[in-house]
Each structure stands twice: as C-alpha cells, then as structure tokens.
Amino acid sequence: MLIRFFYMLRDGGVPVSITEFLALLEGLKERATSLSVDDFYYLARLVLVKDERYYDRYDRVFSDHFKGVENALQILEASQLPAEWLRRQAELLLSAEERAKVEALGGLDALMEALRERLSEQKSRHQGGNKWVGTAGRSPFGAYGYNPEGVRIGQDESRERQAVKVWDRREFSNLDDTLELGTRNIKLALRRLRRFAREGAAEELDLGGTIDATARNAGWLDLRLVPERRNTIKVLLFLDVGGSMDDHVRLSEELFTAARSEFKHLEYYYFHNCVYESVWRDNHRRHSQRMSLAEVMRTYGSDYRLVFVGDAAMGPYEILQAGGSVEHWNEEPGSAWLTRLRQAYPKHVWLNPEPENRWGYVPSIDLMRRLFEGRMFPLTLAGIDRAMRALNAR
Amino acid sequence: MAAIRFQGTDRYVVTEDLALAVNAAVTLSRPLLIKGEPGTGKTQLAEEIAHSLKKPLLEWHIKSTTKAQQGLYEYDAVSRLRDSQLGEARVADIGNYIVKGRLWEVFISDEQPVLLIDEIDKADIEFPNDLLRELDRMEFYVYETRELIKARHRPIILITSNNDKELPDAFLRRCFFHYIRFPDAATMTRIIEMHYPNIKADLLKEALESFYRLREVPGLKKKPSTSELLDWLKLLLADDISAEALRGADGQSAVPLMYGALLKNEQDVHLFEKLVFMDRRQNR
C-alpha cells in the first residue's frame, strides 16, 4: 500500500527518494506516532517532503491515495458486509486491550451488526455531504473501526480538526510552483563564471610565503599574509521588463537573485523590448531617472561581461528602424545601439526565457540571434551553462 | 524508546503537527529542518525543546563567513609557531593548538544535547554539503592529532532556515522537514493568553482582528508575525488601551494604534498609510 503511495508521490511531482521512504517505514516501525490517518499524514509529510513548495502536491496525492479508502467503504456497503471478513480484519488489527473494550460493548458480533446497520444508515448521510464514516463524532466505531486497508476511520474526541480536512483544505496551494530551476541551481551554473584573484586587505596566512620568509630569516618566524581569494568577475546585466516579459517575471527574478548574490560586481539596468539610447535602474522612476547608454559605456569598462535577459519578442521594426520604439521616438534604430554595446563589451550573451525550439518561428528572435551572432542561449540551466562558457571563452 | 515527548511548554505553544515533527525527529534521531516566516518562533523552538526535555542546548549561529570546518575544530598554527620560538613547553603537544568547534562540544557532551544550527541558509552554498558526513555518522576525523571524534550521544539537531538560499538535495534527504505555518486565530489566541494571561477578551479579539486584517493588506514587504504581534500587545497593555479605543471612535478601526510595532519597513508604513487614507475617503 505504501509502495503505491510512494510511486504516486513521485508521479505527482514530489521528489522523494528511497532513503526518505525507508526513513518513513522506520518511523512507522518505531511507532514514532500513533497510527491515525492524521498523524500518518504529518509523519509522511515530515519525512518525505523537503520544501513547503511541495506541500500542496503532497496534499493532492495524499487525498487521491486515501480516496481509495472511501471507495473501499462503499464497496463494503454494496457487498452487504460479509461479517466473517469484517471480523477477521478486526481481529487482525485490534490489540487485546481493545478487543476487551469491544467485548464490553456487547461482543464483536453485536458490534459488527451495529456497524453494518450504521454503515447502511450512513449511505443516505453520504449523499447529504458527509464524506467519511466516523467523522460524525461519538460513534463507537470511531475508536475501533478500521477499514480493510488498515486505516483508522474515526477520531479522538478531543481533536478539533478532522483529519481529512487538513489535506483537503490544501493550505499550501499558493506555495506550489512548478519551478524550472531554483536559485540554487542557477547559482551553481553561474559559478562557471568565476575568476578568482587576490585583492584587498591581506588577512589570510600565506603558508608558502611564511615558510620561505622564515627560512630566509634563519628560522626566526616571519609571518606573511595575503588577501583572500575573491571572485572578481564583473557583470553588466540588462533586463527586459514589461510586455511579453510578464510571463517570465519569476524566472528573471530568480536569475537576478542568484546573480546578485553570486557576483560582487554586478551592475544592472532595465530596458523594454529593445535597447535604445537610454536605460533605467528603477522601474518606478523609469521616465525620470534614465541613464544614457553612452554614459553606461563610459562608466563600465570593457572587462565587464554583458548579459541581456529578454524574450526578444517584438515587432522587427522595433529593432531595425529609427522611431520603431513603442514607447518614444528613437532617433537611431535599436540595432545600432546593440551593435555599439556589443563592440564596447566583446564578451556578451543574450539569455532568452522563450523555449529554444520556438525561436525560429518568431522573426524578431531570429533577427536578434543573428545580430548576436548566435550568442543567444535559452534561460535554462543548460542554457546558462553554455552562456557562461561563451562568456569565459578566449 | 524513551517515553519523553515534547508537548510544548508553559511559554511556547506547539501545534499538533509541530509536536509530532519534533517527537519523530527525536525518536528517529534525524536532524529536523525548520522553515517558516520570520518571527514564528523557529529559534525559540530549540530552547523550548531543550528546556522541556531537560537537555543542554548548544547553539551554532551561522554567518555568511562561517565555514563547516569551524564547527568541527580549528588548528591555530600561528600561535604554535610563535610559541615554538619562545620555547614554550606546551608546543610539543599539537592538541594544545586545536580549538574545539561547536560540533565537537556537542559530540563530547556527557548527556544527549540539543544542537541548534541557526540560519543555515546564511552560509555559503556548499556549507551544508560539508556537514553531510558529520551529521550522518556523527563523527569526524582530526587530521592533526589523528583521532576520530565520535558522538557519545546522538544529539537532537534542529536546523533553521529562512529560505535565503536553497539547500542541496543530499542534505535535505538526511533531514526531516517542517514548515511552521503562520498560526491561525485559534492558535494565536492560545499563544497570546500564554504570554499575557490577564488580557481582556474584547481587547484581544479586537487586536487579533486588526492584526489579521493588516496581514491581508496586499503588497506588504514584511507581513507582521507572531513576535511583532506580541510586542504590539505589550505596548497596548502598557498604555492600558481599551478595546473601544482600538476599535476607533467611528467604529471603523482603519488604523490600529501604534502600528509602528507591527510594520517594520518604511515602505510598508507608507503603503499602509496611503491605503488607510484612500479607505477613509471612500467611507466619507
């Protein structure tokens, strides 16, 4: 039963591994919790799910899986409850102590009879919207009734929430994202673009230097320090915002977050669709505080790596013609500015969140790719990796 | 299996699922990774576990410069070199220059300790990977003295994260994970009653309503959390504000009094004031 649950979770997009599954079984064996559905729900979530993003998926799979329980009950009703079978199940599942309690309630047979009546009674109540046997509360079967799959139907009286509700509520639905790549993976991909150099204050012990100096000093200790190794790569990031990029906001944000923490020298500017004579830093003041591209090129030296992020989906005239911009009158076509930028920064790439196989069908993407001489890469892990290699080349 | 179970303390309310998470982690001796909004009591949980299970608590606070090795030990080669020139006798024993880290202290503790690794996401992205073996096998090797440090008792490990960085899969696989959900109104009432037992019911109701309303204001950078709510209530109690005053003279209660305790971000305060202003204009 649990193996099916395990595979359902994997199919449902919750990344669970065998280690975690074994840990869950260990937990059940060790009786880390009581064996109510409620506790099982929490225990399995604790052990199997490692990110709150997946809580919702887990809830859905859990609910799906335990729908089977409900179905089993209906089959039970339909089949007029073979008493023999019910008893065997009960004996299998009940402890001696519990069985004693059952005796106190008039013996198993009487109880089973009552349960059968109760279940058929509940058929009509099901239609009234009550989904689960035993959630009604004080039925004696709450504590002792098990369904054939070994799951407790009822609840403790004290419990304020009903088990089912917890996962049927799906409280974590807004945390679920089908992330193509997490920031961690992006950061790892960005690591390719590392150039270490020793700069700044000397605070690390230079072992080789110290030994050398000490030897020269006739064995008298002479400490040598060197600056720590730091990533000195410089990156100039141009991000497309608004319009068709709205679909890719999340991805761009992730890339941006990852880049911000990975590169110490990161400068970024925004543009819309295509780069013209000026760009901006703050999207709220994009009209008042713009920086001219000429100034950008003056400020940042050619040792900066230039990275464009945009879907390049626009009218071809926005790239090719003077006055082609959708926002203002541009004296020179975007392609002229792009060429200047590309000349100013020989190491440049364009990252495109659109899937690579679509590029050929959008004329402006195709155009931009040709403008960049093929240095356009998809905004996926593999794409970033290729882009970083391209930036490092030569 | 020890029958000690964590049920929360007289200072800390645990929900059923959190208690289960802690107990399962203790029983199966796996590290428990706790995430959740800032101010939901992640760090405090470790203190309360230690307090309630009567075990010593050792905290290891992680900073961006923290290296995994620092948690094990550091070899102070420089002072040894210096001592050797001064002819100190202790130089002969390299063990004198091994500085024990937090994990070492935990491993040699006489009774089972609770170890809190606070804000693990602050460290370098590879940091958790460097601790895999130590957390898995509960042992590490000191190369300088050629000794193997093994944990005498498997500690109860609690790790908190604020989601600054994503943690590596290999690391996650070894942990149990629990996300502390923001408490619902019923739990919140319990929390507040625990902290301020004498609070008037009507004030509490009024305050909670404003609080949850404030949390629903769209676009807040940092939603007020439990710890902020508790601070705010402290202010309200200190000034002996009545529920009527909180509700506001006109019965609209658009602006909670002293909301500075709830909103910590200048932009949020601006946004909130703007919304209140617009709200008032509409109601006029």
Looking up residue B71, the CATH number of its domain turns out to be 3.40.50.300
Report which of A39, A52, A19 is spatially closest to residue B5, judged by C-alpha positions: A39
Higher pLDDT, A219 or B75: B75
| Same domain for B253 and B162 | no
Q: Are residues A121 and A166 in the same domain?
A: yes
In a domain, A180, yes or no: no
The pLDDT value given to residue B267 = 74
Report whether pLDDT(A138) > 60: no
Give residue for tokens 């790239």: A319
Domain stops at, among B127, B154, B180: B180
Work out the percent of chain A whose per-residue pLDDT is above 90: 0
* A308 and A376, same domain (yes or no): yes
- Whether A183 sits inside 8 A of B165 (CB atoms) is yes
Q: Are residues B35 and B155 in the same domain?
A: yes
Q: Are residues A261 and A370 in the same domain?
A: yes
In this structure, which amino acid lies at residue B108?
A: I
b/e per residue A8-21 (b: at least 16 CB within 10 A): ebeebebbbbeebb
In a domain, A289, yes or no: yes
Q: Are the C-beta atoms of residues B227 and B188 closer than 8 Å to each other?
A: no
ipTM of the complex: 0.73
Answer yes or no: do A289 and A155 share one domain.
no
The domain total for chain A is: 3
Q: Which domain holds residue B223?
A: 185-283
Lowest-confidence pick of A98-102, A166-170, B260-264: A166-170
Measure CB to CB from residue B24 to each of A33, A159, A160 and give the nearest one.
Answer: A33
Q: Of B180, B200, B233, which residue sits at a domain end?
A: B180
Q: Mark whether A218 and A74 lie in a shared domain.
A: no
A218 & A256 share domain: no
Q: Which residues on A lie below 8 Å from B33 (Cβ)? A: 50
CB contact under 8 A, A47 and B125: no
Q: Is residue B262 domain-shared with residue B166, that is, in the same domain?
A: no
Residue A197 lies in a domain: no
When CB atoms are compared, the residue of B25, B165, B177 closest to A49 is B177
Residues B86 and B20 in one domain: yes
Instruction: Choose one of B180, B212, B237: the last residue of a domain.
Output: B180
Cβ-defined contact of B177 to A50 (cutoff 8 Å): yes
CA distance, residue B20 to nearest chain A CA (Å): 7
Tell whether A279 and A217 lie within a shared domain.
no
- B154 φ, ψ (degrees, to nearest 5): -65, 115
- Gap between the terminal Cα atoms of chain B: 65
Quick check: A160 and B186 CB within 8 A?
Answer: yes
Q: What is the dihedral of CA A115, A116, A121, A122, to 10 degrees?
A: 70
Q: Could you tell me if B195 and B175 lie in one domain?
A: no
Using pLDDT thresholds of 50, 70 and 90, give the confidence band for residue A223: confident
Residues of chain B with pLDDT under 70: 1-4, 164-165, 219, 247-257, 280, 282-284
Please state which of the ranges A148-152, A287-291, B39-43 shows the lowest mean pLDDT.
Answer: A148-152
For residues A153 and A11, membership in a common domain is answered with yes
Please indicate, yes or no, if residue B10 is contained in any of the structural domains.
no
| Number of neighbours of residue A129 by Cβ within 10 angstroms | 6
Q: Is residue B9 part of a domain?
A: no
Nearest one of A38, A5, A2, A33 to A152, comparing CA atoms: A38
- Alpha carbon separation from A181 to A117, A252, A350, B95, B164 (Å, rounded): 54, 11, 18, 46, 15
CA distance, residue A185 to nearest chain B CA (Å): 9
Please check whether residues A45 and A92 belong to one and the same domain.
Answer: yes
- Of A93 and A259, more confident: A259
CB contact under 8 A, A184 and B168: yes
The residue segments making up the domain with residue A356 are 232-392
**Same domain as A29, residue A129:** yes
In the prediction, which pLDDT does B158 show? 92
Note the pLDDT tens digit of each residue in A40-49.
888 888 888 8
A:33-62 residues touching chain B, CB 8 A cutoff: 33, 38-39, 42-43, 46-47, 49-52, 55
CA distance A171 to A55: 8
